[in-house]
Structure formats: structure tokens, C-alpha cells
Amino acid sequence: MREPHPFAPFVRILGRGKSLIRSLTEAEAEQAMAMILAGDALPEQIGAFLMLLRLKEESPEEIAGFVRAARKTFVLSAAKVDLDWSSYAGKRRQLPWYLLSALALAGQGWKVFMHGGEGHTPGRIYTSTALAALGLAPAKNLADAAQQLAANHFAYLTLDELSPKLSDLLGLRPILGLRSPVHSFARMLNPFAAPTMLQSVFHPGYISLHRDAGRLLGQPSLSVFRGEGGEIERRPNKPCEVLTLRNGESGEDRWPALLDDPRAEVDETMDLSRLGALWRGEIVDIYAEAAVTGTLAIALHALGAANMGNAQAKAEDLWRARVRNRLAGR
């Protein structure tokens, strides 16, 4: 009789039926993902594993275990990072104004590392494309990211370069027809172990999942909210509920809407030249500036640089000061 494949037990745990199914423990999840990333699981097993997880829905323990396995595959260069910023959704209704929030922080000395998966959903604008419109380029690898962080306090690295295997798994979406847990835990990778993480989701049910996984991973500071299009970008015309983690303690912040009009705006042109124009002060866009400063306020609060009472005012001051930073004019 043929011996079961070493990966088969993980599929069995997830597929034993309604009465016997259970979530993986954190240790099991780490072992399973380590096997996948090492090439020790068959394609059929990987597809079954991801879709069974999708059907069951991921647990915080599973997300934490997957992240731990992925982090062990990174070849890191020494770099101090203040803020880990994930960017995996892409934008289709509004330009990626979040990028200006990150660059404004970098211009004031905060070291911001951004990472993201691109191209998995047609019709969306991803971070590399937006950076190109600003005359900036992604890092080539983690070592190059460390150099960019030292020089400019900002670096962006695609998942293709950060972890080609995870990028391949992310790319299974059009083949499987559904998102998989990779879309969730890739956001949590934080390869440079930044003490503060910002997280955003599209589906509200995943907000607590990210916060609770962060607690298991020992993340000192984490803020997660439903952002515009799933990116870390505040929707300024709606209240924003943010779940937080501060030194192991869970919290919840509710930020008020910044604009009176509750209707969701849709940019029909998605003209990327407007990013640079807004940065340089050549155009006025009330919605965009509120999105930028509102996102900055949440970031400053997460970094411990502001409280909820003064975060928006500090964010607006920081935005006005952007013309003095080293990235101005690009």
C-alpha cells in the first residue's frame, strides 16, 4: 500500500467533514506553509489546502503560523524600519492617494517600508505604476530596499522580489477563482520587523483576524481598518473604525468622517499625473487631500506621534510641510 504523502495530514485536518474539521494549530500552520514554500507539497495538495482554508475561513493561529514560516525564508539586510505598510489590493475607484501619505511620513524622517502583490486583479492600479508616475522605482530586493530606506526613508518591494513562491501562490486567484489565505497573511509579513504595522482590508470580517494574528506574532503596535478599495487609505467621507494593538492590549478607535458628503466618489479618469500635481501643490482636490491627511492621522497615532485629539491637525501640518522634504518636486 502506498504511504501517504507527508503533506496529506494537513489537507486531511481541513477536509474531514463538518463534524471533524478543525483549524490548524499555529505550529501546524507554520509546518504546512514551510513545506509549501520549500516545494515539498504537490500542486494538487496546495490547491486543495488553500481552498479548504478559504471555505473554512482562516483563523488567527493559521495566519500567524503562515507568517512565521514565510519570515524564515527571507534573506535580510540590516535596516531600521519604523512603519511596515502593506499594499496588496490595487485601486480602481480612486487614485492611490495612500502613497502620498507614506511619502509625507518619509519626508519627515519616518522610515516606511512598503510591500505588495501586483497584477492579480485586472483593471486596478498598483503601487509600482503609481511610483513610476512620481518618478520613483521599486527596490530590486531586500538589500536594495535597505539602501533606499537609508537614503530616502522609503522603499517599496513587490512580492515578486520579496518572496517569488508567495507571489506564485497569490497568482493562483484567477486559476482557483477565489482569493486564498495568501491574500491575508502576505499583508502581515513585516520582513524588517517594524514595531508599527498598518493594515487594511476590504471585507470588514477580516479586521479582527489581522489584529488577533498580530497579537500572536507579538507585534508591538498595529492598526487595521477597512480602507478604500482594500488599501491603507482612509475613506474621508465615512467614519473609520480602527482596531488596534498596543503592547499586547487590544483597542478600538472610531475616527469621524472628514467630509460632509457621504457619497462614495468615483474617479472616472484615474489620471496618475494628478498624484504628482497634488504633491507639488499644482491642483486642489478636497477629497484627495482629506484621504491623504486622514490616512496620515491614523499612521501618526499608530506610531505614537499623536493622540486622537490632535492627530488630524498634526497630519495637516505634516502635509503642508511636504514641500520641504527631499522628495518634493519629483
The predicted pLDDT at position 325 comes to 52
* Contacts with 269 (C-beta within 8 Å, 6 or more apart), sequence order: none
Quote the distance between the C-alpha of residue 330 and its chain's center.
25
Stronger pLDDT, 322 or 316, i.e. the higher one? 316
Nine cell digits for residue 295: 490616512
The predicted pLDDT at position 330 comes to 41
> Does residue 70 carry a pLDDT above 60?
yes
Mean pLDDT for all residues in the chain: 93
Return the SS3 of 89.
coil
Residue 327's pLDDT band (cuts 50, 70, 90): very low
Nine cell digits for residue 59: 483563523
Give strand pairing partners of 125: 91
Q: 116-174: per-residue pLDDT in tens?
A: 998 777 789 999 999 999 999 999 999 999 999 999 999 999 999 999 999 999 999 88
The predicted pLDDT at position 329 comes to 41
The predicted pLDDT at position 223 comes to 98
> Does residue 324 carry a pLDDT above 70?
no
The predicted pLDDT at position 263 comes to 64
Residue 78's pLDDT band (cuts 50, 70, 90): confident
> Does residue 326 carry a pLDDT above 60?
no
The predicted pLDDT at position 119 comes to 76
> Does residue 198 carry a pLDDT above 80?
yes
Q: 233-251: per-residue pLDDT in tens?
A: 999 999 999 999 999 899 9
C-beta of residue 310 within 8 angstroms of C-beta of residue 317 = no
> Does residue 271 carry a pLDDT above 60?
yes
Residue 264's pLDDT band (cuts 50, 70, 90): low
Q: Exposed, middle or buried, 93 (CB in 10 Å: 0-12/13-18/19+)?
A: middle
The predicted pLDDT at position 75 comes to 85
The predicted pLDDT at position 29 comes to 98
Spatial distance between the Cα atoms of 11 and 181, rounded to a whole number of angstroms: 14
Domains, the chain, with CATH or none: 8-71 (1.20.970.10), 83-324 (3.40.1030.10)
> Does residue 296 carry a pLDDT above 60?
yes
pTM (predicted TM-score): 0.94
C-beta of residue 78 within 8 angstroms of C-beta of residue 193 = no
Q: Cβ atoms within 10 A of the Cβ of 110, count?
A: 20
The predicted pLDDT at position 323 comes to 64
In angstroms, what CA-CA distances link 329 with 79, 281, 325?
26, 10, 9
Residue 262's pLDDT band (cuts 50, 70, 90): low
Spatial distance between the Cα atoms of 22 and 187, rounded to a whole number of angstroms: 24
Return the SS3 of 235.
coil
Q: 80-90: per-residue pLDDT in tens?
A: 999 999 999 99
Residue 65, φ and ψ in degrees, nearest 5? -65, -40
